[in-house]
Structure 1
């Protein structure tokens, strides 16, 4: 009996080690960022984004096009460039960026128009310099914000995850946290979370408001659209054992209740979005449900 138990524990340890190795490699592969290929995008001397140099060349070509009667970018200085150097004030900048976003969309350079304003800002607490259509934020490599929540089942070593709809513009069909949403201009982390809880998983506002904050993680990586530079605010919510989430906005294809090992396997396979992987791993590490992952500090 003892030999059988030792063998089972040895096999389990080998499986966990393999998952951790694959997960570490997956995280590294999806987190590449080369500063030399980007410009620090600034407004009033404050960095608001990481603009891909290839996009800078495209933006300069748009200057003088129909509706673009302003300088999109200033002169490059070292590794930085100013956005809308001759346009002053929140309203004027926002109007100029709206025209620019429509022009980019007309050239099929943006993915998934949202009609949702994101802030152009160096920090969440800083007054926004302007707003821009959400679909254009990653083209410019702008700093964005999001709230993600792990749905932990009370009394169990398990959590709920959600599969993104195939119609989503970003990461269609991939696994995600139970609740995850970008933060529009004028919102805050908790308000964003409570709204998304209701829409994505049918979690009532009174229950969503009980979510526990666990800091934030930073994402900076090159993607097809440009750059994902995002501050992700982490939350955990303990859910009743009989709770079953249901989607209300059509953005979730399915929900699944998974154990810690199954969650690790999904992440190791690269089937979960990068930001959701980081958020989930933080929760598993906090609870001692996952071993340390090289290169990742939870």
Structure 2
């Protein structure tokens, strides 16, 4: 189906749900609970654990012995011989580089993500962003629905963006107008304001008018590992004459879409999973889906 074709809302949302389900499988039985300082920081695929056990970074074992938990899952400690932030971070930098050199990790970013059990918990280490999904680490992101603030009676419309074909993750797919991973030391709003300027040319004074709408948690298997991400959701009302302009080369196209073509894009599976969830959240909150069709 062409991206710009339309479907009745009920038919589109059923297809969107099927597309999300097909792309959102997660098998906990094939994972180890990755622990640090007694708290879970990731879901490590067993196949990746085997790779890590065969990797020598010269700083002791990468993984500790497996331990069965009362719920039937199995836990393993990350870098059991390292007991402080700097030591763990140094070890993980060496590990990430070896994994990249061996072809297990791609899309090196020179950006550090926190290794942590929660957004409000102290990080136990930092790691190169490209290695986060290989390790199945909990990560954080900010996504924003760019909503056209039209006159009363105008049909609903959103701005969306297409990811650059050069991106390592989901190249060429449709995304929210603004979306970005949260580096260590940032927070959801600061991340969003920065990404607004870089991805869509939205000035900080406009970006700070966003409305926060909670968080959506994504947990799914991927070819490169696991996406375990807490996505912080924002809406921004944009002036009718606003036109986004990418500044960092990570967006290949912006498009202003009304409801029918937007539903068609999502039902065709042409939008990323996390962006689809964030978009549906906005449509449902604003009553732009038929009652009963957005469960």
Alignment correspondent of 2:185: 186
Alignment correspondent of 1:4: none
Alignment correspondent of 1:75: 65
**Residue 79 of structure 2 is aligned with which of 77, 80, 84?**
84
Alignment correspondent of 1:110: 105
TM-score, normalized by length of structure 1? 0.92
1:202 aligns with 2:201: yes
Query: Match of 2:205, SS?
Result: helix
1:293: how far off?
Answer: 7.5
Alignment correspondent of 1:98: 93
Structure 1 gap segments, 5+ residues each: 1-11
1:292: how far off?
Answer: 6.1
CA contact (8 A) 1:213 1:234 kept: yes
Counterpart Cα distance in 2 of 1:250 and 1:151: 19
CA contact (8 A) 2:59 2:91 kept: no
Higher relative CO (Cα under 8 Å, sequence separation at least 6) belongs to: 2
Query: Match of 1:145, SS?
Result: strand
The total of aligned residue pairs comes to 281
Alignment correspondent of 2:118: 123
1:152 aligns with 2:147: yes
**Structure 1 residue runs of 4 or more that deviate by more than 3 Å after TM superposition:** 291-294
1:209: how far off?
Answer: 0.4
Distance 1:176 1:195, change over 3 A: same
1:193: how far off?
Answer: 0.2
CA contact (8 A) 1:24 1:293 kept: no
1:17 aligns with 2:10: yes
Alignment correspondent of 1:6: none
TM-score, normalized by length of structure 2? 0.93
- RMSD of Structure 2 on Structure 1 (CA): 1.3
Query: Match of 1:219, SS?
Result: strand
Counterpart Cα distance in 2 of 1:39 and 1:245: 42
CA contact (8 A) 1:148 1:233 kept: yes
CA contact (8 A) 1:148 1:177 kept: yes
Counterpart Cα distance in 2 of 1:292 and 1:91: 52
Distance 1:292 1:118, change over 3 A: farther
Distance 1:61 1:293, change over 3 A: farther
Structure 2 gap segments, 5+ residues each: 1-5, 69-73
